[in-house]
Chain A
Amino acid sequence: MLRLSFSTFAQRWPLFAGAILTVCLGVGLVQSSLLILISAATGGYVEAITLLAITLAVSVFLAVFIVSSTFAFTVAQRRKDLALLRLVGGSRKQLRRLLLSEALLLGLIGTAIGVPIGVALMDVQTWLLGTLGFVPGGFDPAWLDWILGVSAGIGVGVAVAGVLAASKRAAAVRPLEALRDTGSAAKVMTGTRWFFGLLFLAGTVALVIVASFAGPVAAIPLTVNSALTAAVALSALSPLVVPLLGRLLGLALRGSALGRLAQANLTDGVRRSASTAAPLLVLVALLLGQSGVMASIGEATEREQRRNLVGDLVVTGQGAPGAGLAETPGVASVATRFDVPITVTTRTVDDGEVETETEDDAALAIDPETYALANPAMASDGALAELSGDTVVVGDDSGFAAGDTITVAIKGVESGERTMRVAGVLPPALDSPYVVIAAESVPADVAATLPSYSIVKLAEGTSPEAVASAIEQRGLGQVSPLGDWIGAQAVKQQDVSTGIMTVILGLSGLYALIAVVNAVVIAAAERKREFAIARLSGLSRPQVVRTALVESLAVTVIGLVLGGVAAAGTWAGIGMATHRILGEAVVVVPWALLGIVVAGAFAVVTVTSVLTSLSATRPRPISLAGAGE
């Protein structure tokens, strides 16, 4: 039986090469992300762990999604061949065994190529993380032998799992279908599609609702998840949309024979159309969803700062500004804040054993009385006033409640950790600190090494410019108007967000893009005979290429629209979250990125479609049309 597989490989190499490509890139990406995550975790690069965990989750998701959908597609494309085997005495079991052993073989080949690719990708990812400052320069992720097992599990396991459901369907093919001209007579909207489509749709709605109640820190992973589940749901349900779009296309190209042909092909090849749209859908959902969420959080945070902070100037310096600042003529009040690196130790009792966990974090160190003047919103419910040298107050999504105790150690302080009582919980805010400690808790020698920001309120009738130059002349620090400072902070945050996006989606996005190209190539390569018949019916070669292009572009529209819908779902989540915290829904649609994605998708699909259909129409049509294959 495997001889049949081998000879089929030779015959339909674009189909199988495409399947192998998706496996090896998926394996490489997962392997690299996992190794880097493990090295970062064991090396104590705490800041990078969450980020890398999301990166790994996205890679695993994409590998599973793309490999399994590609494999299922390759099985669906071979319906007629399989029916022929049934006709000459093949049993259902034999067909399933054939398809599964093929998947096993392709998975193994993909894994074998994917492992070295993973090693190369690890260098790329490490370089990316280092360049963007998420890990220090010397970070060198270690190779672990057991990773080979994981890679093989991803490569072979996902390939076989992807084929499992498809092979069951394919084995049910009736022998008679070998005699019919179209091999894809099977029902596309299967029960499985309905089940997973609706299940993941429900999951998406749940995630969006949860995200709307979570703080901005938790919102990012939650919205990434909701973009993923929405992508699964919509791609499972996409065959429902294809005929609808086909009809729209028919309206748009009314009167043109080529348009009508393209519409008919689109609707006739629903499975092909849906499969081609799937990777694009995921790419768009992830990219637009996540960047929209990050931009919205950034924008909302900036608005919150502008609303909440009261003052005229911000003085940036190192250590406490000292009495000099407050005594500068024209200065009415000064509120200074430090970001203090701390470790928080939590002990949980589990089965009688005490488990200790230490986490790196940053505390906001302030003087509660003066800071309340600069940020009255933070002080609005009185919790801030409870802050003293022996207590802390916490942000509303920190997980602590008033009356808890928290064990904190300020980095660089010899005396070590202190256990303090949580005196209060701050009102919800986007820019909510994890822990706030009193400035007096920070020893002066440690404070002197930390950057500080002082929000300065001016006495009435004084000129900000004059005071600013006076402060700078005294060498107390760099001065900028409050509004400018908030804007600059937002820009800085935007850079960090872009970095995060690049880490999470850089390579995964590239993988999805390759999968888009792959899907277009596979789809066209499988249609040589159909193209040949179209030419024998009087279409010229350029007309065939144009018809195929119209179809590909229509499929692109499906991918973009459904991906956009998935992204919009996540934007809705962030809109609800900002409305809850800020009182107004802030949703920033990343128009620039949207434009790039749309233009890029059309460009990539156009080039791929034209090249592959040119190549598929190169042989003289009669040599393909008559062959019965």
Chain B
Amino acid sequence: MSAAVGTEPVAPVGSAAIELRGASKDYGPKRERVRALDNVSVACGRGSWTAVMGPSGSGKSTLLHCAAGLEQLSSGQVHLAGKDITGASDRELTELRRRDIGFVFQNFNLVASLTAEQNVALPLKLAGVRVPASQVREVLASVGLADRRKHRPRELSGGQQQRVAIARAMVMRPKVLFADEPTGALDSNSARQVLRLLRNMVEGAGQTIVMVTHDPAAAASADSVLFLSDGRIVDHAVAPTAREVADRLASLEG
């Protein structure tokens, strides 16, 4: 099972949008150390959509956080858009979050006091990018919220809030989008809508998506699925059906 080399979707170095090499992450003080990621090597090609699945505590979220530079690896390397970000400074990581990566989370994480439009424009403002207001409106329209732009998050449904969050991630045209349970808090209709939007990002704009999910249906929308258990990659499936995903997951949890 060691590192499951055969099943890794390792693409040739250079063409990967995101690549982890021998990535390990430990938590806690020395004596009661918990290894959340154990020597994981994985690469996602440009314009690919990878789903990460696994039982609770398998290290899915840690993988995502480390890949996005939100957490430091204990050992190993992370390359993002051709750059080694393993030991990047806060300034470099900030720049990275501005230009190259976007986030979508289960609980939306919108700024409650800003309208949908203002939330979408926020990354632009922070990056000091001047864009016409019409462009922000276009992005909102592309997620089907043209008529909701003046609403605040609490006046929107969960599905609408998640679409605002996706619009916020889209507006900077990031190379990689990290999504943590993007459909976890949504009803199935809203979830389908969100997954369609993510598919458009991959197909239309050639963006790369790494998505952690519990939902086999969501995972089946991705190009490939990685299965994690105890911090290791234990399986890999290309374009599986929801049923296949559910079966493999069940075998892991069982």
A positions within 8 Å CB-CB of B: 1, 3-4, 7-8, 10-12, 81, 84-92, 94, 174-176, 178-179, 623, 626-629
Contacts and interface: CB of A to CB of B under 8 A. Distances in A.
B126 A7 contact: no
Contacts of B112: 11, 627, 629
A179 B113 contact: no
Contact of A8 (B65, B97, B105, B113): B113
Interface in B69-127: 70-71, 90-91, 94, 97-98, 103, 105, 107-114, 118, 122-123, 125-127
A87 B111 contact: no
B123 A88 contact: yes
Contacts, number: 74
Contacts of B214: none
A156 to B, nearest CB: 24
A455 B129 CA distance: 89
B180 interface: yes
Nearest to A91: B94
A1 B111 CA distance: 13
B47 interface: no
A1 B125 contact: yes
B154 interface: yes
B153 A89 contact: no
Nearest to B168: A88
A568 B108 CA distance: 52
A90 B118 CA distance: 15
Interface in B160-215: 161, 168, 172, 180
A179 B180 contact: yes
13 contacts: A1-B125, A3-B118, A4-B113, A7-B118, A10-B113, A11-B113, A86-B94, A87-B70, A87-B97, A87-B103, A627-B153, A628-B110, A629-B153
Nearest to B105: A179
A176 B94 contact: no
- Give me the 3 closest cross-chain CB pairs, A-B, nearest first: A11-B113, A89-B98, A629-B112
Contacts of B123: 88-89
A84 B105 CA distance: 11
A176 B126 contact: no
A174 B70 contact: yes
A628 B94 CA distance: 24
Interface of B: 65, 70-71, 90-91, 94, 97-98, 103, 105, 107-114, 118, 122-123, 125-127, 153-154, 158, 161, 168, 172, 180
Nearest to A84: B109
Given A10-B113, A11-B112, A92-B94, A176 B122 contact: no
Nearest to A179: B105
A87 B113 contact: no
Contacts of A81: 111
Interface of B is mostly: helix
A4 B158 CA distance: 23
A178 B127 CA distance: 19
A89 B102 CA distance: 9
Contact of B114 (A7, A12, A623): A7
A124 B78 CA distance: 67
Contacts of A623: 154
Nearest to B129: A89
Contacts of B70: 87, 174-176
Nearest to A6: B113
Contact of A179 (B97, B109, B158): B109
B104 to A, nearest CB: 11
A88 B71 contact: no
Contacts of A92: 90, 94
A15 B111 CA distance: 17
B126 A175 contact: no
Nearest to A8: B113
Nearest to A172: B90
A629 B154 CA distance: 9
Nearest to A174: B70
A366 to B, nearest CB: 74
B91 A628 contact: no
Given A88-B168, A89-B123, A629-B153, A7 B103 contact: no
Contacts of A8: 113
B97 A84 contact: no
Contacts of B168: 88
Nearest to B90: A92
Nearest to B94: A91
Nearest to B125: A1
B5 to A, nearest CB: 30
Given A7-B118, A175-B97, A628 B107 contact: yes
A627 B114 contact: no
Contacts of B65: 176
Nearest to B172: A89
Given A84-B109, A627-B112, A89 B97 contact: yes
A90 B126 contact: yes
Contacts of A10: 113
B97 A88 contact: yes
A138 B88 CA distance: 71
Contacts of B110: 628
A4 B111 contact: yes
**Residue with the greatest number of chain B CB neighbours at <10 A, chosen from A84, A88, A626:** A88
B108 A628 contact: yes
A88 B126 CA distance: 8
Contact of B154 (A89, A174, A627): A627
A3 B127 CA distance: 15
B126 A85 contact: yes
Contacts of A3: 118
A605 to B, nearest CB: 29
A87 B70 CA distance: 9
A89 B94 contact: yes
